[in-house]
Amino acid sequence: MFILLVDILILGLSLYLLIRIFIEMRGTVLKKLKYPKVQCARCGSCCRIPFVPVTHKDLERLVKATGKPAGRIVRFCTFSEMEFDPESGLWISFKSGRRAMILRRKNGRCIFQTPKRACAEYEARPQTCRTFPYDVSFEDEKSGVVDEIALNTVLACKAEKCPKIDLEMLVANVRKENKEDKEYHKLVWAWNESGEKGGTADFLKHIGF
């Protein structure tokens, strides 16, 4: 019995050391990576040019922050409006065709962009807004080790160079974005597979609104 307890303690200590080594290695990988260091120049392009797809979690945060109903925050665009991978998990099947849930726009810009080109709901902004203009890739999903950090090429961002960025925060936001994307895509898949092709209000109910 005593020997068994000792073996368990040794195994537990070994696992702890392995986890610590992994965490330290991950930090080392982040520090050694070469990546562009930029900050927002308030040009407003990212709030005007691209449509912004959102997840159920993004919408949940915005509804809580604004007090507005979900239907006043998002709309559902067609593939012709937003060219995106047709196999992506964000395309929802309705009777009228496939649609993607995006932030509403007004006068050619995001409804939350202020006249000074800032975000009126900055603290509750979608995850994709938090990680833009960076594009972070990982070696594989299990390890979570960062492989490359580059600038997103979806538009010509006018971000300004800066001495440093909060790299840990950026990577944490990307991981959160990836996790929430997967959760949302599962909800979309369940809707598409159900055969119940209701309207947009029905879909919003399906995802919790």
Mean pLDDT of 21-46: 70
Q: Which helix (H) or strand (E) holds 42?
A: none
Q: Which helix (H) or strand (E) holds 60?
A: helix 56-66
Provide the whole-model pTM. 0.82
d(CA 185, CA 175): 15
Please give the backbone phi and psi of residue 39, each rounded to the nearest 5 degrees, phi first. Answer: -135, 160
Total tally of structural domains belonging to the chain: 2
> Do residue 86 and residue 156 come from a single domain?
yes
pLDDT of residue 25: 43
To the nearest whole percent, how much of the chain has pLDDT over 70? 83
SS3 category, 112: coil
* Residues found in the chain: 209
d(CA 2, CA 180): 45
pLDDT of residue 119: 95
To the nearest whole percent, how much of the chain has pLDDT over 90? 55
Mean pLDDT of 169-179: 93
> Do residue 114 and residue 84 come from a single domain?
yes
User: Structural domain of residue 14, as residue ranges?
Assistant: 1-32
> Do residue 64 and residue 98 come from a single domain?
yes
> Do residue 67 and residue 128 come from a single domain?
yes
> Do residue 52 and residue 115 come from a single domain?
yes
Residue 195's contacts (CB-CB under 8 Å, 6 or more residues apart) are none
Is residue 113 over pLDDT 60?
A: yes
Mean pLDDT of 138-164: 84
Least confident of 17-31, 45-59, 71-85, 103-117: 17-31
For helices 56-66 and 167-194, the axis angle rounded to 10 degrees is 110
- Distances from the Cα of 205 to the Cαs of 56, 81, 95, 187, in angstroms? 11, 24, 17, 11
Amino acid (one-letter) located at 75? R
> Do residue 41 and residue 16 come from a single domain?
no
Q: Which pair of structure tokens corresponds to residue 94? A: 């309705």
pLDDT of residue 59: 98
Is residue 106 over pLDDT 50?
A: yes
Give the residue from 77, 87, 95 showing the smallest Cα distance to 196: 95
